[in-house]
Structure 1
Amino acid sequence: MAVNERDPVTGRETTGHEWNGIKELDTPVPRGVLIFLIVTHLWAIAWWFVVPAWPLGTTYTKGLLGVDQKTTVEARLADGLRQRASWTTRLETEPYDSLLADEALMRTVRRTGRQLFGDNCAACHGRDAKGGTNYPNLTDDDWLWGGGPDLIEQTLRVGVNTAHPESRVGQMPAFGRERMLDRDQVRNVAAYVYSLTHPDFSTPQTVATIEAGKEVFATTCTPCHGDDAKGNREVGAPNLTDAYWIYGGTLDTIIASVHGGRRGHMPTWDERLTKAEIRALALYVHDLGVKRP
């Protein structure tokens, strides 16, 4: 078949290819497509000169406009900081009583604090701040070191059982594992502690065990938890007479705590968050425990 053969219907030349009697036409690219390709190539070439494009070892071509996503984001961040400065400065400098009294500011704190909490604290305490097994509930107003925003700020700043020189330190000794108490003493004192929140546990069958545990408590546990077992916020010792538990309040769990001890941990945030962010979080967490009508 001749290469220059023309199709009798369209009048176009063929390419010389034939398949099952069908001959391929040598159809040119449509003019519109060619124009589109030319325009897009010219636009791409022009764009290389207008905006940053080509890497040059340790740098890159800056472009005639000198605008890129990095500078755009930096400008927006700077603008956001300027807009926030009016209230972040107040957070950094004003006393908590003044901040708590300003309801307009507290609305901002609640929005900002919620985001900060979700980004930094929710992994342990939950999105609703109600904690879980081994992590305290921050909404019940039951605190180990006090629930005022100034004390919460300190805990956020230095952490608990961290390497920070001012870290809060709290530990429940392993009375059973370290053989400070024998097996019966561990079970007796656990029964006494359990009875403080479960009065119906005291029966004729358990009263002797509870009384024996009370004696163990008086000689072993009162230095931290107090004679009345209501704890000591100065040293982070919890109140054992209420219904709030971090590690669980069942008899078996209390036995495990007395036997093996407990040593919680909370990271320090003074190098991860700004002063304004820490104080906003302190106000937000404090606000979670405030009961409103």
Structure 2
Amino acid sequence: MANKRIDEPTGTETVGHEWDGIEELDTPMPRWWLWTLYATIVWGVIYVILYPAWPLINKATEGVLGWSSRGELAEEMSVVDQARTTVREELARIPIERLPENSELFGQAVAGGRSAFQVHCSQCHGSGAAGSQTLGYPNLNDDDWLWGGDLKAIEYTLVNGIRAPGVNDTRMSVMPPFEGAFDADQLTAVTNHVLSLSGKAPSTASGAQLYQDNCSVCHGPAGEGNRELGAPRLNDAIWLYGSSPEQLRAQILNPKMGRMPHWSGRLDPVTIKMLSAYVWSLGGGEEFVEVAEDPAVEVDEEP
């Protein structure tokens, strides 16, 4: 303190110490800086009083306002859950074939279905729903449908599954094995005819006749398929188990028939409806066409 002096060039008092001829000026802090510091101190005291601040053994001080980040999160989640409940209630009420008429609700259904698809369906059909020809999982992005591609048909398939054990209304189709039914030349002829339906090979009269006698009753005379029977279309470029002659011959002799679990009872009806909307929206979905019953046609009902 005894070494303090006034610096002549600046007129400012020094702090009183010197090193190698260098002295430090005791320049006062700017007023605005000091008032900012005082304000932050006051704000800190008020914050400690109002909000959680000091950590304790099992919790923190609660503050007089009773606010907590967990409480705020719970309130936000409650709002989201309420909105989600409202959407699910609307989805439960609307018939699935009418869903595209409400674009906002349909968009919410697709978003929910996309999440459910990643959890329950992507393991087989892939995250992008492209399927796997190697494993026999169908591509859901195209417009080839064994059982129909409108919203009601997709929902029915999800509810009842395909060849699902113990489900009376499951989708069911059976292709008989033709092992031993054809000799080598006949097998080649019918294989080439099937490939000819999509322009992949030339056909012969014998192959066409074998096809008509053994295959057309399910797959159609021109290979157009039959959705009522679950018989695939053969005259396009989409093949579930491969389109090479070797793969086709293997399918004729010992056919592979896939299986999909039923989701009724595993997923609630609204989630199944959202899944149906998502699959339908992937690009291959078809319009629902309601077929009116002909009152003149009598249907014999089983007892």
Deviating runs (4+, > 2 A) in structure 1?
72-83, 179-187
Aligned counterpart, 2:26? none
Cα deviations by residue, 1:257-286 (Å, 9 ceiling, x for unpaired): 001112110111112111000011111111
User: In structure 2, do the counterparts of structure 1 residues 96 and 283 end up closer, same or farther at CA, with 3 Å as the change threshold?
Assistant: same
CA contact (8 A) 1:171 1:262 kept: no
User: 1:132 offset after TM fit, Å?
Assistant: 1.7
Give me the identity figure in percent: 34
- The counterpart of 1:245, out of the listed 216, 239, 242, is 239
Provide the aligned C-alpha RMSD in A: 2.9
User: In structure 2, do the counterparts of structure 1 residues 74 and 232 end up closer, same or farther at CA, with 3 Å as the change threshold?
Assistant: farther
CA contact (8 A) 1:141 1:289 kept: yes
Q: Going by fraction, where is helix more abundant, 1 or 2?
A: 1
Cα deviations by residue, 1:18-60 (Å, 9 ceiling, x for unpaired): xxxxxxxxxxxxxxxxxxxxxxxx944x66xxxxxxxxxxxxx
Taking structure 2 as the reference length, the TM-score comes to 0.66
User: 1:82 offset after TM fit, Å?
Assistant: 2.9
User: 1:172 offset after TM fit, Å?
Assistant: 2.2
Determine helix, strand or coil for the equivalent of 1:245: coil
d(CA) in 1 for partners of 2:182, 2:284: 40
User: In structure 2, do the counterparts of structure 1 residues 218 and 100 end up closer, same or farther at CA, with 3 Å as the change threshold?
Assistant: same
User: In structure 2, do the counterparts of structure 1 residues 186 and 76 end up closer, same or farther at CA, with 3 Å as the change threshold?
Assistant: farther
Aligned counterpart, 2:124? 124
User: 1:114 offset after TM fit, Å?
Assistant: 1.1
Determine helix, strand or coil for the equivalent of 2:88: helix
Aligned counterpart, 1:83? 83
Corresponding pairs, count: 222
Q: What is the correspondence of 1:96-245 to structure 2 with a 5 Å cutoff? A: 96-133=96-133, 134-163=136-165, 164-176=167-179, 179-198=180-199, 201-202=201-202, 207=203, 210-245=204-239
Cα deviations by residue, 1:232-274 (Å, 9 ceiling, x for unpaired): 0111101100011111111111111001112110111112111
CA contact (8 A) 2:146 2:232 kept: yes
1:285 matched to 2:279 = yes
Structure 2 segments unaligned to the other structure (5+ residues): 1-54, 60-69, 286-303
User: 1:96 offset after TM fit, Å?
Assistant: 2.6
d(CA) in 1 for partners of 2:268, 2:77: 15
CA contact (8 A) 2:197 2:222 kept: no
CA contact (8 A) 1:160 1:267 kept: yes
Letter in 1 for 2:85: A
CA contact (8 A) 1:162 1:267 kept: yes
CA contact (8 A) 1:170 1:236 kept: yes
Taking structure 1 as the reference length, the TM-score comes to 0.68
Cα deviations by residue, 1:89-130 (Å, 9 ceiling, x for unpaired): 222221234310111112212221111111111111111111
1:276 matched to 2:279 = no
